[in-house]
Chain A
Amino acid sequence: MEMYQRMADELLIACHECDLLHIKREIPLGGSARCSRCGSVLYRRPADTVDAALALTAAALVLFLLANFYPFIYFKVAGRIEVNYLITGVFTLNDYGMPPLAGLILLCSILAPGLKIALMLYVLVPVKFGRTVPGLARAFRWLETISPWGMIEVYMMGVVVAIVNLLAIASIDYGMAFYCFVALFFVMAAASAKLDPHLVWERLE
């Protein structure tokens, strides 16, 4: 039993989708190991890990703040210019008596992406400098929970469809926040790609 446990800790990994055990092997830089039975990714070895992920997350923080505090879209109709911010839709839906829907939009477009950036910084800064802070493991666990609810790329497509709907009646100008939001998506995607959760878990141990 004890022998199994030590083996399990150091040598083995179970596929998270079909539970098959595999012996961990060294893989080439930039490669990934897949389950021999169901084909899901077991672990990856990104070319550069914590440093790159940390740099990208810091950039994401700046973009996130700009995306929230600068105008998102200018709406021009009949000689009037309306300024809209990222959060305007949340307040509007709330005013129409739909607070749960407003809350969901707030979660997916602002809270989850913001929390994701904050948690990544909270985990990556100590990992980078070899320190420990309280609740490090819990923060990284929450990161996995919150991730599916951050929907920056879906929101962007929502903006596109909304604008197509308005082409006939008004003209639209994109604000600074819109470009920051688009950049935020690419930066966050790159940061996630640079990070293999298993590597962080091993360092946290």
Chain B
Amino acid sequence: MSSSSLGTAASRSLIACHSCGKLSPAAEKGACARCGADRHLRKPMSVQRTWALVISAAILYIPANIFPVMTMIISGKGEPHTVIGGAVELFKAGSWSSGFLVLFASVTVPCFKIVGLMYLLLSIHFKSLWRPRDRTVMYRVIEIVGRWSMIDMFMVSILAALVNLGALALVEPGPGAPYFAAVVILTMIAAQTFDPRLIWDTMEKADG
């Protein structure tokens, strides 16, 4: 791994604006001269905020999966479905692709985000020097893929709106839905409060 001879912005006492990227001396006071955003060397309280959000998300993920996200009643028959139950129904109906999509978006993605962010936070805490580039890629994937967890919530909102025929056919959103939505919001904000530069700051110190 070839480090550029210039070093990091921080090592030159420069702040790169979080918002527009403009470099300015760390000694300077006030907001970014170009875009007006607050300037920080690193995202403020990044580790603490991300931990708080990720732990909250992990806790809320439990009721999100225990409680049903919707109840589908057709001609008087029907029962509540959890997120995973909904995917199982899709498999039973033979829609494998949709079943896998729901499982991926509602189980794989949130778990990967929560466990992945916890791993990144721990690796920073224990000053890990292991594969920083791969850890940065992992962060990038977490940031990009997170939004896809919303599929199930959109599906519930569309079904509830469409199937609204009283006794004939009805889809009711269940108590699990708000919990699930909260998990998506919290993990998305957690990905934003995490600062991947912290991964590399450990490397800098190790280099001397």
Please name all residues of chain A whose beta carbon is closer than 8 Å to the beta carbon of B14 when the two chains form the complex: 4, 8, 12, 14, 21
Check B200 for interface membership: any CB of A closer than 8 A. Answer: yes
Q: Flag if A165 contacts B34 (CB, 8 Å).
A: no
On whether the beta carbons of A154 and B150 are closer than 8 Å, the reply is yes
User: Is there a chain A Cβ closer than 8 Å to B47's Cβ?
Assistant: no
Q: Does B108 touch A at the CB level, under 8 Å?
A: no
Q: Which of B50-58, B112-120, B122-130, B177-185 contacts A (4 or more CB under 8 A)?
A: B177-185
Residues of B within 8 A of A78 (CB): 165, 168
**B188 neighbours in A (Cβ, 8 Å):** 148
Q: B77 to chain A: closest CB distance in Å?
A: 11
B24 in contact with A20 (CB, 8 Å): no
Q: List 17 A-B contacts (CB under 8 A).
A: A13-B16, A14-B8, A16-B16, A16-B18, A18-B132, A18-B197, A75-B163, A82-B165, A89-B160, A89-B161, A92-B157, A98-B177, A104-B153, A141-B19, A154-B148, A154-B150, A162-B159
Cβ A37 vs Cβ B1 within 8 A: yes
1/0 contact trace for B72-113 toward A, CB 8 Å?
101000000000001001100101001001100100000000
Q: In the complex, A138 Cα to B37 Cα: how many Å?
A: 8
Tell me, yes or no, whether B141 is within 8 Å of chain A by CB: no
Rounded to whole angstroms, the CA-CA distance of A165 and B101 in the bound complex is 13
Contact with A along B1-43 (1 / 0, CB 8 A): 1111011111010101011111111010000001111000000
Interface residues of chain A, those whose CB is within 8 Å of chain B, are 1, 4-5, 8-9, 12-14, 16-23, 36-40, 73, 75, 77-78, 80, 82, 84, 88-93, 96, 98, 100-102, 104-105, 108-109, 137-138, 140-141, 144, 148, 151, 154-155, 157-162, 164-170, 197-198, 201, 204-205
Judged by a CB distance under 8 angstroms, whether B164 is at the interface is yes
CA distance A81 to B165 in the complex (A): 11
In angstroms, Cα B37 to Cα A86, docked, is 34
Ordered nearest first, which 4 A-B pairs have the shortest CB separation? Answer: A158-B154, A89-B157, A14-B16, A14-B9
B residues 142-170 in Cβ contact with A at 8 Å: 147-148, 150-165, 168-169
Partner of B154 from A18, A38, A77, A154 at Cβ < 8 Å: A154
B68 at the interface (CB under 8 A from A): no
Contacts of B2 in A (CB 8 A): 36
Closest to A96 in B: B173
The answer to whether B160 and A93 touch across the interface, beta carbons within 8 angstroms, is yes
B34 to chain A, nearest CB (A): 6
Q: How far is the CA of A14 from the CA of B172 in the complex (A)?
A: 50
A98: B residues at CB distance < 8 A: 173, 177-178
Point out the residues of chain B lying under 8 angstroms from A38, CB to CB. 132-133, 136-137, 196, 200
Those of B174-208 within 8 Å (CB) of chain A? 177-178, 181, 185, 188, 192, 196-197, 199-201
Question: Is there an interface contact between B6 and A22, defined as CB atoms closer than 8 Å?
Answer: yes
Interface SS majority for chain A: helix
| A88 → B minimal CB distance (Å) | 4
- Given that A14-B8, A19-B200, A36-B2 are known contacts, is A77 also in contact with B169, CB under 8 Å in the complex? yes
Partner of A101, one of B3, B74, B86, B177: B177
Q: In the complex, what residue of chain A is closest to B172 when comparing beta carbons?
A: A96
CA of A140 to CA of B19 in the docked complex: distance in angstroms? 9
Contact B154 A159 (CB under 8 A): yes
- Cβ-defined contact, B23 with A162, below 8 A: no
Cα distance A91–B173 when bound, in Å?
A: 13
B140 at the interface (CB under 8 A from A): yes
When distances are taken between beta carbons in the complex, the residues of chain B under 8 Å from A90 are 157
Residues of A within 8 A of B6 (CB): 12, 20-23
Q: Please tell me if the beta carbons of B157 and A204 are within 8 angstroms of each other in the complex.
A: no
Q: How far is the CB of B167 from chain A (nearest CB, A)?
A: 11
Bound Cα distance from A90 to B147, whole angstroms: 19
| Interchain CA distance A44-B19 in the complex, whole Å | 17
How far does the Cβ of B104 sit from chain A's closest Cβ, in whole Å?
Answer: 11
